[in-house]
Amino acid sequence: MDKDIFSELKDLGFDDVSNIDIYGKNKVVKKMVEEKKQSVDNFLYDKTVNCPICGNTFKVRAVKTSSIRISKKDTDFFINYKNINPYFYDVWLCPICGYAAMKSDFNKIKSYQKELIEKNISLKWHSKQYPKIYDLSIAIERYKLSLLNYVASESHSSKKAMNCLKLAWMYRLDGNEKIEKTFLKNALDGFIDAYSNEDFPIYGMNRFSLMYLLGELYRRLDMEDKALLWFGNVITNNLASSKIKDMARNQKDLIRENQRNKIQAEKKSDDNSSNTDTENHKKKGLLSKLFNI
């Protein structure tokens, strides 16, 4: 549509009527998007960090502590946030050498790992310019870069496991259950190894918190017998806190309820099948009498 349809009205004092979209849908949408971006940008600031691999000084986007608002918590410790999602900004990435890690690990790197990063990451790295505001797809990409660095640098299982767990959470936000479960399984494998071979605390979790998490990961992966075993170990340990025991009991009860529902559903299905067989037998008997079959 010609956007100069009001040009004749300029002589009547309307000088600003050129290029008007009379329905203005695109403008409204664009304005809303821009306002949202400006709002999100207010929750962020630039933090200066030094790369422990190449020595480069660069800025990372960081979430203001005052902006963090929790909406709810999932039973595998995933936190849903309002306003802005801090998980999106959890990975720090050096634009020069490609070294990436979750911010809590960024400076925790040994000399032999630096050589591995330089060899396996930096030599292949092509720098990328990211926007000031990250979305879910960017967060997933950066978490995968971080995971690749953990693998390349032969990091502890706990680091790879936590990275995988956070990737699972990102795919949960994306609504992709299949890939979410893939990363939940990878997280489970890593945390099982860490439970046996690493010192506590592990990412703020004591032994019993990790035991609970292992049970919950098993539950989410439909391995209920193993989940019950880990939950039971938490519940019966005198050293575990009452809070983590209550969480384990809740999940144990959830499994038991789910199992009862399955049994009832199977029984109902068997009863329906039995009734159908009986009806078919009666019909066959009637036909036999009528037609001497």
21 falls within a domain: no
Same domain (yes/no): 62, 158: yes
Same domain (yes/no): 48, 156: yes
Same domain (yes/no): 281, 175: no
Same domain (yes/no): 51, 182: yes
Collect the ranges in the chain with pLDDT lower than 50: 29
228 falls within a domain: yes
Separation CA 136–CA 46 (nearest Å) = 20
pLDDT for residue 87: 99
Separation CA 15–CA 12 (nearest Å) = 8
Can you tell me whether residue 255 is helix, strand or coil?
A: helix
Same domain (yes/no): 46, 149: yes
18 falls within a domain: no
Same domain (yes/no): 40, 137: yes
Same domain (yes/no): 214, 237: yes
Same domain (yes/no): 68, 185: yes
Same domain (yes/no): 110, 188: yes
136 falls within a domain: yes
- For residues 89, 94, 99 and 103, what is the CA-based torsion angle, rounded to 10 degrees? -30
Q: Among 168, 199, 230, where does a domain finish? A: 199
pLDDT for residue 286: 65
Q: Among 174, 199, 224, where does a domain finish? A: 199
Same domain (yes/no): 69, 93: yes
Domain membership of residue 259 as a residue range: 206-293
Cβ-proximal residues to 38 (8 Å cutoff; 6+ apart), any chain: none
pLDDT for residue 189: 99
Split into its structural domains, the chain has a count of 2
Same domain (yes/no): 137, 42: yes
Q: Among 199, 227, 255, where does a domain finish? A: 199
pLDDT for residue 267: 85
Digit-coded pLDDT (tens) for 59-84? 999 999 999 999 999 999 999 999 99
Same domain (yes/no): 55, 179: yes
Q: Count Cα atoms within 13 angstroms, Cβ side, for 113.
A: 20
CA torsion sign for 60, 64, 65, 68 is negative
Identify whether 52 is preceded by a cis peptide bond (ω within 30 of 0): no
Q: Quote the tokens at residue 193.
A: 């190894």
pLDDT for residue 152: 98
239 falls within a domain: yes
